[in-house]
Structure 1
Amino acid sequence: MAMREVSSADGTNIVYRVTGAENARPLVLLHGWSGNLRCWGRAADELAQRFRVIAVDLRGHGYSDAPESGYDDPKNWAADVAAVLAAENITAGAVLLGWSYGGIVLSDYLAAYGSSAVAGVVYTGSQAGIGKNVPGAQTGPAMQKAIPDVFEESAGRASRGFAAFGNANTGRGTDKGEDAQRLFGGSIATAPRVRKALFYRTVDNTETLAQLPVPVLVMHGTADPVVPLENGRYIAETVPNASISYWPDAQHGLFIEDPDRFVAELTAFAETLS
């Protein structure tokens, strides 16, 4: 395992972790809003047996820099992904995977840089755009309940806001307590101004989806209360070449809820890529 750092186009330092064989297919993991590169849990370890896993801390999250502004500019998010790929000398064959907000980030990258370095794309519990009246960008009931408390400077109010997610990120069951608390801790550790800034932007990546020339896998829980299933359906219906895996009664963090199934489906998808 190696922790690495690269400077993005605007000077923001982006931190990422690399695991797995250097000669394996690159798999870039982009976490969700108020998360970090540790959110993937056991699934990341399993994937590293098959891929060269590159787990990124998005700007404003984890160990990456948190600039005062610029979160509303899709070009910044795109440049962050491009900088990581360049630092790892990846020019072809990569799989980009976005969870939740990470799907918006990878779509920003594809809109700005195209797909020449990419063999396939995975959206899990995700959407490709954000903003009022943007198609495929609905806000789920758990997210609606959490706002605006999750934007608060007050630790007590912010904690209550994040509590509204309940078991959305881990699924039902009593064996996910460690995972749930790790995700909760990462969310609280993200600066309130960053949590808020990520929601105050509008981008519609529909055109990019409609012209995407590489295969896409959409994995989505039918009971996702954070990013509604309709958002995943919108991606699947818009891209030219989509594989679909809708998980009955599953919620938002499929890689935590059933890591074995998550790894198996992702591996099977990658095996179909050129």
Structure 2
Amino acid sequence: MTTQTARLREVISRDGTPIVYRVTGSDDARPLVLLHGWSASLRCWGDVVDEFARRYKVVAVDLRGHGYSGAPETGYDDPANWAADVAAVLAAEAPNGDGVLLGWSYGGLVVCDYLADRGTARVAGIVLTGAITGIGRNQGGGQTGPKMVAAIPGVFAESPSQAVRAFAGFGNANTGPGDDKGVIAQLMFGTSLSTPPRVRSALFYRNSGHDELLATLDIPALILHGTADPVVDVASAEHAAQLIPDVVTSFWEGAQHGLFVEDPARFVKIVNQFVGGL
């Protein structure tokens, strides 16, 4: 989806898992690290990568178990592994401590895993879009929407027919209405199916909350969320916004889960305004 020169790079996390990411834009610019959601990949970001690369060194990461990164058999329930993955990328690509972490959906939880384990010394700010900050029973930052609830357990199935039907149930949640998003919609659908079923399942077997982290966060945060998000309920974003001391919110009336696909220009403008003020 990108037209600018992009470079694939790799780091090795603490448990030996290779973490692959793609860099677009100038190596001298501020790093903007993109952490995708559950069962997605670094390719999910669409046109916003090129737009962001006009200002930043865009570092689009494949989370462990996804895309080009390694998919170990175990360890997905250990927040220290997620933290180590992000730490390895930041050490390679944001050595000056001026990086910004942008997490979508499950990527928001990974952002929190990193900050809880490693602190904020290497990060200037965070962006959470359609994100969870907790997962498991009674976690206010992990409230799922009706389409996510309905998709489980079908999205964990090894049976192709079951998995296809379950993922199809998300409909246009990741792209918003309109046929003009058909290409990236198919890409996201295919990426979801290509994520190993055992990984899709393992990511949900956690019970982790980050309310204390959010309440004491000492860097600025931007929260973007669609009020009609059927995957991650807007209540999750409202929960985080009430806790974070220095937060800017952007709630999009009637919008769904993938705001950066639904309205890329608006998404880029809001993120640029936030990062420009850091």
Match of 1:87 in 2: 92
Determine which of 125, 128, 133 is the counterpart of 1:123. Answer: 128
Deviations 1:164-187 (A, max 9, x none): 100000000110000100000100
* Aligned: 1:186 with 2:194: no
Match of 2:83 in 1: 78
Determine which of 157, 160, 179 is the counterpart of 2:162. Answer: 157
Deviations 1:126-185 (A, max 9, x none): 011101111221111000111110000001100001011000000001100001000001
Q: Is the 8 A contact 1:91 1:116 kept in 2?
A: no
- Over the matched positions of the two proteins, sequence identity in percent amounts to 61
TM-score for the superposition, normalised by structure 2:
0.97
Match of 1:51 in 2: 56
Q: Is the 8 A contact 1:85 1:91 kept in 2?
A: no
Deviations 1:163-216 (A, max 9, x none): 110000000011000010000010000000000000001111111111110110
Give the CA deviation at 1:89.
Answer: 4.7
Determine which of 181, 186, 194 is the counterpart of 1:176. Answer: 181
Task: Give the counterpart letter for 2:96 in structure 1.
Answer: T
Q: CA RMSD in A?
A: 0.7
Determine which of 250, 267, 270 is the counterpart of 1:262. Answer: 267
What SS does structure 1 have at the residue aligned with 2:142? coil
Task: Give the counterpart letter for 1:159 in structure 2.
Answer: V
Q: Is the 8 A contact 1:29 1:54 kept in 2?
A: yes
Give the CA deviation at 1:90.
Answer: 2.2
Match of 1:253 in 2: 258
Give the CA deviation at 1:54.
Answer: 0.2
- Looking at structure 2, the residues matched to 239 and 93 of structure 1 have their Cα atoms a distance apart, in angstroms, of 20
Match of 1:212 in 2: 217
Q: Is the 8 A contact 1:35 1:190 kept in 2?
A: yes
TM-score for the superposition, normalised by structure 1:
0.99
Give the CA deviation at 1:30.
Answer: 0.1
What SS does structure 2 have at the residue aligned with 1:136? helix
- Looking at structure 1, the residues matched to 59 and 91 of structure 2 have their Cα atoms a distance apart, in angstroms, of 12
What SS does structure 2 have at the residue aligned with 1:180? helix
Q: Is the 8 A contact 2:31 2:93 kept in 1?
A: no
- Looking at structure 1, the residues matched to 64 and 96 of structure 2 have their Cα atoms a distance apart, in angstroms, of 22
Gaps of 5+ in 1: none
Paired residues, what number?
273
Q: Is the 8 A contact 1:169 1:256 kept in 2?
A: yes
Q: Is the 8 A contact 2:31 2:94 kept in 1?
A: no
What SS does structure 1 have at the residue aligned with 2:134? coil
- Looking at structure 1, the residues matched to 231 and 163 of structure 2 have their Cα atoms a distance apart, in angstroms, of 17
Task: Give the counterpart letter for 2:93 in structure 1.
Answer: E
Q: Is the 8 A contact 2:94 2:122 kept in 1?
A: no
- Looking at structure 1, the residues matched to 140 and 260 of structure 2 have their Cα atoms a distance apart, in angstroms, of 26
Give the CA deviation at 1:76.
Answer: 0.2
- Segments ≥4 residues shifted beyond 4 Å: none
What SS does structure 1 have at the residue aligned with 2:179? coil
